[in-house]
Amino acid sequence: MISRLFVYFALGCVLAPAGFSQDPNAAPAKKAAPQDQKTFLPSADVRVGPGDTIIIQALAADEISKTWRVSSSGDLNLPMIGRIHVAGMTQDQLEEALTARLRKYVKEPQVNAYVGEVRSQPVVVAGAVQTPGTVQVDGAQPLFNVLAKAGGVKDPGPTVTVTREIDHGAIADPQAKLDADGSSTSVDLKLQDAVDASTKAANFMVEPYDRITVATVKQPQMVYITGEVNHPGAVELVTQKKVSILSVLANAGGLTRTAKPSNAMLIHINPAGERTTVARLDLRKVIEGNIKDIELIPGDMVIVPSSELKTLMEVASTSALSAGIYVLARY
């Protein structure tokens, strides 16, 4: 008799279904994630993104207990439950959301959800980098690595800013601040540290869905005047997009006695330092009001020659964009 009872007990242990517990009040054991998948979703670190595959196991809900692909808009469209936006959710949040929806149809639903394949964990990189845009990361990554994925920095300013939406959690850094609209937190880091892999800034952990902005160096917006004027130099446009040629001439102290304004030239030089436009300009008619004043834009250069053609050619062959040019005024 004793041996038979022992055999029955042993068989019962072997054949017990998953989730069986000797304690009738104990919660069912959580199912292990399937072992044939490429990647699993850590509950605290990685968030669901568009294109990811989600494995759902729900008791008494066979309709949704399978593998699903998250749409490009970040949604799952499931039987019974319908459409649910899951992009940005952690594993725990995903399970809670699915459980809440299932309560309409299943009494005390039990749901396990896993990421089977990670396809999208985007970080937006903007500003002074080689290839601005979206890069994909595999969980949290050091800032240095994410900048490298964007091709590294290009003509950067002094700072790099990491911004994280409140929905994805606040940035856990003493220097982080809440943005004006309250929807995100951000932290400013020194760029010279961010590109040095040995520093704390370079190892700042960037999360999926963060935004990185590398500050750009603001190039001065200059209009130049040279040649036969009393004070050759430049006018910097700070708040204005244009300035009249008469205003530039006035800031240059007017014409010299040897100037020949009827043979002036107007040249436009693009940000790469290349001449893209060359035109002859009768500056005397502008001064006398016989033709309308001309609006100049950044990169324009007015060249006023003397009566000698040689002087005009010499001035035209030089660049007024050299370092140390005198700034006559700012508008």
Residue 324 is predicted with a pLDDT of: 56
pLDDT in tens, 159-205: 999 999 998 889 989 999 998 888 999 999 999 999 999 999 999 99
Cβ-Cβ contacts under 8 Å for 61 (sequence gap 6 or more): 80, 102, 105, 106, 109, 111
H helix and E strand count, the chain: 7, 21
Task: Give domain 222-330's CATH superfamily.
Answer: Outer membrane lipoprotein wza domain like (3.10.560.10)
Which tokens belong to 225? 């005047």
Reply yes or no on domain 29-117 having CATH 3.30.1950.10: yes
Per-residue pLDDT band for 308 (boundaries 50, 70, 90) equals low
For residue 22, pLDDT beyond 60: no
Q: Which CATH architecture has domain 122-216?
A: Roll (3.10)
Whole-Å CA distances, 292 to 226, 282, 285? 21, 11, 9
pLDDT in tens, 88-99: 788 889 999 999
Euclidean distance between the first and final Cα of the chain, in Å? Answer: 104
Looking at per-residue pLDDT, the higher value among 255 and 308 belongs to 255
For residue 150, pLDDT beyond 60: yes
Tracing tokens 């002859």 back to the chain, one arrives at 280
pLDDT in tens, 26-66: 334 444 444 443 344 444 456 788 888 999 999 889 999 99
Residue 46 is predicted with a pLDDT of: 64
pTM: 0.46
DSSP 268-296: EE-TTS-EEEEEEE-HHHHHHTSS---EE
pLDDT in tens, 92-129: 899 999 999 999 988 889 999 988 877 777 899 999 99
Q: Do domains 122-216 and 222-330 have the same CATH topology?
A: yes
Q: Is the dihedral of CA 184, 189, 195, 198 positive or negative?
A: negative
Q: How far is the C-alpha of 323 from the C-alpha of 122, rounded, in Å?
A: 41
Q: What is the percent of the chain where pLDDT is above 90? A: 51
Cβ-Cβ contacts under 8 Å for 68 (sequence gap 6 or more): 53, 54, 55, 56, 76, 78
Domain locations in the chain as residue ranges: 29-117, 122-216, 222-330
pLDDT in tens, 268-294: 988 767 778 888 999 999 999 999 999
Residue 35 is predicted with a pLDDT of: 40
